[in-house]
Amino acid sequence: MAVIEARGLVKAVGTGRAARRVLSGVNLSVDAGEVVAVLGRSGSGKSTLLHLLGGLDPPDEGEITIAGERLTGARARAQDRIRLGHIGFVFQQFQLIDELSGRENVLVPTRLPGAPAGGVRRAEALIDELGLRAVAAHRPHELSGGEQQRFAIARALVNDPEVILADEPTGSLDAANGATVLELLAHMTGRAVLLVTHEPEAAAIADRVLTLEDGELVGAGAGAQRR
């Protein structure tokens, strides 16, 4: 079953003479249990695409369905609920809150109104699984980059989402820590993982590799071709 479904996504950025179409008709379908890598050079629109799929920014045209729920056209509150219940984000710069410990960062999404039950139990299990128990009370600036990204991954997983959206997740890490993070993303049993990156090594863990080029997603198995 496709848990990420996008049809005809169009997005322009900038205004007036600086306006530019970054996405010009993107189709994408990612099944549960599938890891898809989207490669593309810097500025090709990878982050823009992830922002649309995560409901952080609306497309100019097109439709997005996440875990069977229509994201595009939904009211802001419904979009928040879809994001909270179905999507986990992982970013290049980790985006941890520096005032909070690693554990408290993982718990943040479990405390938002409407969060699914069982979050505290899952947080503790993830802290163990990701080898973070000994540093769970440390704050982000006291942690290595690899540890920070593992806390960010635990935070992304804590509400047990069907979808993981990762934007250059290894971009701030050395090779060894980057490999660990890719291994984690490659083994998210049952989830749909969409990984965007300019690093071809990341593609090695993917079930499918697509390329974002001139505003379109191309490559063997691109959404439009699979159907």
Ligand X SMILES: Nc1ncnc2c1ncn2[C@@H]1O[C@H](COP(=O)(O)OP(=O)(O)O)[C@@H](O)[C@H]1O
Residues that bind ligand X (CB under 6 A): 13-14, 22, 40, 42-48
Contact yes or no for 32/192 (Cβ under 8 A): yes
Partner interacting with residue 22 (select from ligand X, Mg ion, none; CB below 5-8 Å by kind): ligand X
Work out whether 110 is an interface residue with Mg ion (CB under 5 A).
Answer: no
170 binds Mg ion (CB under 5 A): no
Cβ-based nearer residue to ligand X, 84 or 181: 181
Q: Which stretch binds Mg ion (CB under 5 A): 6-14, 47-55, 132-140, 205-213?
A: 47-55
CB atoms within 10 A of CB 189: 6
Which of these, 148, 84, 93, 79, lies nearest to 114 by C-alpha position?
84
Q: Shortest distance, CB of residue 166 to ligand X, whole angstroms?
A: 12
DSSP readout, 126-168?
HHHHTT-GGGTTS-GGGS-HHHHHHHHHHHHHTT--SEEEEES
Structure tokens given for 25 = 């008709």
Give min distance, CB of 44 to ligand X, in A.
Answer: 4
Closest CA to 102 of 59, 167, 151: 151
- Please state the closest distance from residue 145 (CB atom) to ligand X, in A: 20
The terminus-to-terminus CA distance of the chain in angstroms comes to 12
* Interaction between residue 47 and Mg ion (CB under 5 A): yes
Is residue 35 within 8 Å of residue 163, measured between CB atoms?
Answer: no
Applying CB under 5 A, the site for Mg ion has a residue count of 2
The answer to the question of residue 105 lying near Mg ion (CB under 5 A) is no
**In the complex, least distance from residue 90 CB atom to Mg ion, rounded to whole angstroms:** 13
Residue 48 binding Mg ion, by CB under 5 A: no
CA 167 to chain centre: 6
Report what 131 binds from ligand X, Mg ion, none; CB cut-off 5-8 Å by kind. none
Beta carbon of residue 216, minimum distance to Mg ion (angstroms, whole number): 17
Contacted entry of ligand X, Mg ion, none for residue 45, CB cut-off 5 to 8 Å set by kind: ligand X
Short-list 55, 2, 57, CA closest to 27: 2
Chain residues binding Mg ion by CB under 5 A are: 46-47
